[in-house]
Amino acid sequence: MLIIPKYNFMSTRATIRFAKREEGVSFNEHPHQWNAQFYRHHDGYPEGLGVEIAESFTKYGKLLNWEVESLDVVHGDIEYMYYIWQCHGKTEPWISIFKDEGFSKCIFVGTPDMLLEKYDERYTEAQEDFDCSEHGCKKDPDFCPFPGECCERGAEILRQKIQTKYER
């Protein structure tokens, strides 16, 4: 008997909305208003589009394949809803990602750097590859904000490994 694997060639669609940070509105809730809305037909999952959005802030990466949408239109087949929260006078944006029926479940809230830590496999691999003992200090996760940052040499090695992974 010949078995042919079944592949799902469906695109992962997403809507991206830009909202103003407002007093009393939590980042894990949908805002009442947003200023701009875009649609992405493919790779809308956090490891794809989420990482691209974060890199557009951290590395000035270019965003491709976005379609401008009317503020009142939402495609019926999207899987993820992104909010990018910004405010004049606050330099760092925050990103919220919603999933599930009606986008009731907030699966991520944080800064672009936090999103990269959670969803960018290159960042995770660089941290996993790091061995603090290679330059003589003891790895202590309770002391270090990031693995390997227990001394200047450790922090430099970690930065080099992450930069090498990003350049691929």
| pTM for this prediction | 0.70
For 31, residues 6+ apart whose C-beta sits below 8 A from its C-beta are: 17, 19, 20, 22, 25, 83, 85
- Extract the tokens encoding 93: 């944006």
Q: pLDDT below 50 — which residues of the chain?
A: 6-8, 134-150, 168
Q: Is residue 150 part of a domain?
A: yes
One domain for residues 114 and 96:
yes
One domain for residues 131 and 94:
no
Residue 10: what pLDDT?
64
- 29: amino acid identity, one letter: E
One domain for residues 90 and 149:
no
Q: What pLDDT digit, counting tens, does each position of 139-156 carry?
A: 444 444 344 444 555 556
One domain for residues 37 and 86:
yes
Q: Is residue 64 part of a domain?
A: yes
Residue 151: what pLDDT?
53
Residue 73: what pLDDT?
84
Structural domain boundaries enclosing 54: 14-118
Residue 16: what pLDDT?
96
Structural domain count, the chain: 2
Residue 48: what pLDDT?
94
One domain for residues 55 and 112:
yes
Q: Is the dihedral of CA 123, 128, 134, 136 positive or negative?
A: positive
